[in-house]
């Protein structure tokens, strides 16, 4: 069995959603799951989730109910934002000696 595919989007990248219900929204990548080919983007793909009442709040207060949080989105539905033009761009790699550097395919600048 082969390992997870390599993803060119990393934690902390600024991305834009290019497909789905949140198309056009921008956000920062919070988490990356390469084994499932999914990313978690701040403020994108929000879902409402029911949480059980727990007694872990201040002074033993009950905490529970409906919370809004981000859900995973497939990596093919997001694109990196070019730092210069602020438009969606693909990522490529360039080698400087023995180090690998991510570059924007559109402008050629480092990401």
Cα–Cα distance, 104 to 84 (Å, whole number): 10
Residue 93 domain-assigned? Answer: no
Residue 78 domain-assigned? Answer: yes
Residue with tokens 């219900």: 21
Residue 1 domain-assigned? Answer: no
How high is the pLDDT of residue 13? 93
Tens digit of each residue's pLDDT (9 = 90 or more) over 27-44: 999 999 999 999 999 999
How high is the pLDDT of residue 83? 84
How high is the pLDDT of residue 53? 81
Query: What's 80's domain CATH number?
Result: 2.30.30.30
Residue 103 domain-assigned? Answer: no
Strands 99-104 and 63-70: unpaired
CA angle, 20 as apex, 16 and 23 as ends, to 5°? 35
Q: What residue ranges of the chain have pLDDT lower than 50?
A: none
Residue 34 domain-assigned? Answer: yes
Q: For the chain, how many structural domains are there in total?
A: 1
Is the model's pTM score more than 0.85? no
How high is the pLDDT of residue 85? 86
Domain range for residue 52? 14-86
Residue 53 domain-assigned? Answer: yes
């Amino acid at each position: 069995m082969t390992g997870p595919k390599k993803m060119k989007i990393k934690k902390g990248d600024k991305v834009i959603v290019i497909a789905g219900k949140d198309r056009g929204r921008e956000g920062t990548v919070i988490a990356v799951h390469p084994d499932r080919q999914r990313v978690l983007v701040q403020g994108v793909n929000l879902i409402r989730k029911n949480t059980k009442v727990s007694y872990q709040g201040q002074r033993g207060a009950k905490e529970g109910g409906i919370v809004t949080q981000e859900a995973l989105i497939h990596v093919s539905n997001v694109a990196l934002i070019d730092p210069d033009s602020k438009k969606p761009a693909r990522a490529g790699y360039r080698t400087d000696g023995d180090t690998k550097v991510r570059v924007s395919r559109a402008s050629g600048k480092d990401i």
